[in-house]
Homo-oligomer: A and B are copies of this chain.
Amino acid sequence: MPAAAYDIATSRTDAAPEFSPRQQVVLQHALTLLVEGGEKALTTAGLARTASCSKESLYKWFGDRDGLLAAVVAYQASQVQFPSETGATADAATFRAHVTAFVEALLGVLFSETSLALNRLSIGQSNTNSNRLGHLLLVRGKHMISARARTMLESGRRHGLLKFDDAEDAYQVLYGLAIRDVHIRLLLGENASPAEKDLASQAETAVDRFYRLFGA
């Protein structure tokens, strides 16, 4: 019973390194396998072969296969970074531009192949083993983004640029206007249309509609 198994309970979201460089290389290989062929393609033997490491090391580092999957999710979540929002509420125009940039970044993340692969993985396992992966993805991914967005929107409200009662509700509307059903369609394997690949204009129109609903 190795103690190195990746555990949600003892992992802090602000832990910086969390994985050694060697382990990060292996996790990157795992991510590549996952993006290419889905969960079935990520076998311990296959990963050991691809990453030129031994299965023994995999089990030493991650405990078991579930620990490996959780580590992949945590690793990728730690890689995602959103632009800073310093001085974003200088005036109405820059704030709106900042909101648009946030939405575009959100679209870029959610529609990326790596994010889609990890979402597929977590969803596929969401009703098997007490739902570790889905929970991990939500806590380390969606909830972080949601919190970030709420503070941004509330900042806009404080400066009299937006008007709403519940920041969470407003964020969800912004999310819905931007994502629509594209996310689920991509998850199901459909290819994005050319218009849907133009993230900038997609974000633009979403923010435009958002302001028509929540603009002050």
Contact = CB atoms under 8 A, between A and B. Distances in A.
A108 to B, nearest CB: 16
B189 A181 contact: no
Contacts of A125: 38
Interface residues of A, number: 41
A212 interface: yes
A120 interface: yes
Interface in A59-93: none
A160 interface: no
A142 B185 contact: yes
A141 to B, nearest CB: 9
A12 interface: no
A213 interface: yes
Interface stretch (A15-23, A44-52, A94-102, A130-138): A130-138
A181 B169 CA distance: 11
Contacts of A135: 188-190
Question: Shortest 10 CB-CB distances between A and B: which pairs?
Answer: A124-B124, A176-B176, A134-B189, A134-B188, A126-B189, A38-B127, A176-B180, A131-B189, A172-B180, A123-B187
